[in-house]
């Protein structure tokens, strides 16, 4: 599974609905944790996930928790799954079956400026692309959220998590199973190829049907032969025309010393590939 995270820009009304959803998810998690702790303290046994889920459904019919019906039920059930997974990790860590540092027991969630809620395919959420940079994410009882769609998803997402960070920004994290891209044509070709890089040849390709192909290595150290055409006048390395007219005056001592030093050091410098000088 691969996760893809995009920035989400909800409206002012949608921000209120999202805040209500995060609060309901936190209450459902804390109620389930309190129920499991009280039952274990009284009987010494752990409650199953089915009993905890039935208790959540029953609490929605009470006047104290009837406002839980104002949000989608899928994120509430996912909060119970998160609690169940937290307990499994805790028990495995205590028994020594889980690698890594020891995991503590689940704790109550506190009210904060951040939150998250996960929607699975049962919630019937949808993602509709508008253009190359924009998409609309529909979430039940929230509406369509504007998404900064920076890249295409390789397949249909199986779940999406709505996240609010402490800085107040909203994000949508999609879980995608690798597969064919959305809208991409099916690949009906069954021909495959194997690539082998070598020293004599640059590469050798062997296809599944038995055919082979070799790509010669480029010769970057070849020098022009005697039969190669003469360079143009405008090309680099063209022969200069002989000097005509009166000969120049004697060279200055400074330029003469520079020419002598260049002549002495040029054989040694030619053995190395000196980097080009850059102006600062």
pLDDT, one tens digit per residue, over 201-215 is 888 888 888 788 888
Phi and psi dihedrals of 167, rounded to 5?
A: -85, 0
- In order of 5, 27, 84, 266, the CA distances from 116 in angstroms are 13, 13, 17, 69
220 has pLDDT over 90: no
pLDDT for position 238 = 53
Q: What is the pLDDT of residue 252?
A: 58
pTM flag (> 0.85) = no
Percent of residues, the chain, with pLDDT higher than 90: 50
Q: What is the mean pLDDT of residues 225-249?
A: 57
C-alpha 272, offset from chain centre:
43
Kindly tell me if the per-residue pLDDT of 182 is higher than 50.
Answer: no
The three-point CA angle 165-169-173 to 5° equals 70
* Alpha carbons 221 and 234: distance in angstroms, whole number: 23
Q: Which of these ranges, 74-83, 119-128, 244-253, has the smallest mean pLDDT?
A: 244-253
Predicted local confidence at residue 183, as pLDDT: 45
Where are the domains positioned within the chain? 2-176, 192-217
pLDDT digits (tens, 9 = 90+) for 88-147: 988 888 888 888 888 888 999 998 889 999 999 999 999 999 988 899 999 999 999 999
């Amino acid at each position: 599974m691969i996760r893809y995270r995009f920035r989400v820009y909800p409206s002012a009304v949608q921000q209120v609905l999202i805040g209500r959803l995060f609060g309901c998810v936190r209450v459902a998690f804390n109620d389930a944790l309190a129920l499991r702790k009280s039952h274990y303290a009284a009987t010494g046994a752990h409650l199953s996930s089915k009993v905890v889920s039935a208790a959540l459904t029953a609490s929605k019919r009470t006047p104290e928790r009837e406002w839980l019906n104002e949000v989608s039920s899928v994120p509430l059930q996912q909060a119970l799954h998160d609690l169940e997974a937290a307990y499994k990790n805790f028990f495995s860590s205590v028994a020594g079956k889980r690698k890594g540092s020891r995991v503590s027991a689940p704790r109550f969630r506190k009210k904060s400026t951040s939150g998250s809620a996960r929607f699975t395919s049962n919630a019937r959420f949808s993602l509709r692309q508008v253009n190359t940079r924009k998409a609309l994410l529909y979430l039940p009882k929230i509406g369509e959220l504007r998404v900064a769609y920076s890249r295409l998803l390789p397949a249909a997402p199986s779940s999406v998590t709505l996240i609010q960070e402490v800085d107040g920004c909203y994000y949508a994290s999609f879980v995608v199973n690798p597969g064919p891209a959305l809208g991409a044509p099916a690949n009906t070709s069954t021909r495959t190829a194997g690539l082998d890089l070598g020293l004599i040849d640059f590469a050798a390709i062997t296809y599944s049907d038995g055919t082979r192909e070799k790509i010669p290595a480029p010769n970057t150290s070849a020098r022009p032969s005697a039969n190669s055409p003469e360079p143009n006048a405008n090309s680099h390395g063209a022969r200069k025309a002989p000097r005509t007219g009166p000969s120049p005056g004697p060279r200055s001592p400074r330029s003469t010393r520079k020419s002598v030093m260049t002549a002495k050091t040029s054989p040694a410098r030619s053995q190395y590939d000196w980097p080009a000088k850059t102006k600062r």
